[in-house]
Amino acid sequence: MSQSDHNPDARYKSLLQSLREMDAAVVAFSGGLDSTFLLHAARQALQDNVLAVTLATPYMSKAEIKEAKCAARAMGARHEIIELPFPESIRTNPADRCYLCKHSLFSHLMEMARKKGIGHVLDGTNLDDLGDYRPGLKALRELGVESPLLAAGLSKQDLRTLARAHGLDVWDKPAAACLLTRIPHDRRVDEDELRRIEQAELFLKDIGFSAVRLRSHDDIARIEVPPEQVAEVVRANAEHGIDKRLKELGYRHVTVDLAGYRMGSLNKNGT
């Protein structure tokens, strides 16, 4: 491997080259770092022959849907939002939830692309995703969804570096995940609980915790923040009334996880 292969700029050129081989593409767009950079690159390569599509489900944060809409508009990209119902196959939050969800959602996206005569459906999977528990990747491969960032060997840090260099304000945006990841497996989920989780996290973000997860264990709220911010949650409670606000939302007990934030901490096969 040449020295240039380790250079994010060289990987970006490789990404553009692969995208230019397509006549048109649909980009699964959430408004996060990965899909935003992919959409940016696709527009560089294909101009207006790119359609960004946001799959809006009841377990996707309303704020994220709004951010995706604003981001696509700021980029001048063609953008559609598809409202989808809660798939009954994942209503009980099974351990293979991510596989079932991805298969259901991207089946809709593949069918939409087919009807529009577009032969490529792209997602923002990157190199770092291979090191995490991501059963949804299996569904993407089965359906023929393409992951150009992964094919170009781009890591999350590469994407942050490149996004900053290209003037994309999502370069330092924290990773996001659907609201089902806040709830233990094998428990029936309803929309009221999802909205409660979303409101709790929005409150915590508003008072300064940008990287936060609210794990919901029935009437217990377990707050995860980076380890260095755990003590800050206790201090912030005195000033902002975290305990009071979360109890207003319906929790009886509000706790802070001393181990700090861990990606996928509720995954049965995760960390």
Residue 24 sits in a domain whose CATH number is 3.40.50.620
What domain range is 159 assigned to? 3-165
Q: Are 64 and 124 found together in one domain?
A: yes
Domain boundary among 165, 190, 216: 165
Counting the structural domains of the chain, the total is 2
Domain boundary among 165, 194, 227: 165
HSE toward the beta carbon, residue 72, CA cutoff 13 A:
23
Q: Report yes or no on 252 lying in a domain.
A: yes
* pLDDT score, position 268: 55
Q: Are 109 and 206 found together in one domain?
A: no
Q: Considering all CA atoms of the chain, what is the largest pairwise distance in Å, rounded to the nearest integer? A: 58
* pLDDT score, position 176: 86
Domain boundary among 138, 165, 192: 165
Q: Are 60 and 127 found together in one domain?
A: yes
Number of helices (H) and strands (E), helices first, in the chain? 10, 7
pTM given for the model: 0.89
Q: Are 83 and 150 found together in one domain?
A: yes
**Residue 225's CATH number:** 3.30.70
* pLDDT score, position 251: 98
Q: Are 195 and 74 found together in one domain?
A: no
HSE toward the beta carbon, residue 43, CA cutoff 13 A:
18
Q: Report yes or no on 174 lying in a domain.
A: no
How many C-beta neighbours within 10 Å does residue 214 have? 23
Q: Report yes or no on 271 lying in a domain.
A: no
* pLDDT score, position 6: 67
| Amino acid, single-letter form, for residue 182 | R
How many C-beta neighbours within 10 Å does residue 12 have? 22
Q: Are 159 and 191 found together in one domain?
A: no
* pLDDT score, position 262: 84
Q: Are 130 and 49 found together in one domain?
A: yes
Q: Are 77 and 199 found together in one domain?
A: no
* pLDDT score, position 40: 98
* pLDDT score, position 175: 85
Q: Are 28 and 88 found together in one domain?
A: yes
How many C-beta neighbours within 10 Å does residue 104 have? 18
Q: Report yes or no on 136 lying in a domain.
A: yes
* pLDDT score, position 131: 76
Q: Are 99 and 151 found together in one domain?
A: yes
Q: Are 91 and 127 found together in one domain?
A: yes
Which residues of the chain have a pLDDT value below 50?
1-4, 269-271
- Is-catalytic flag, 178? yes
Q: Report yes or no on 172 lying in a domain.
A: no
Q: Report yes or no on 82 lying in a domain.
A: yes
Q: Report yes or no on 264 lying in a domain.
A: no
Q: Report yes or no on 171 lying in a domain.
A: no
Q: Are 14 and 67 found together in one domain?
A: yes
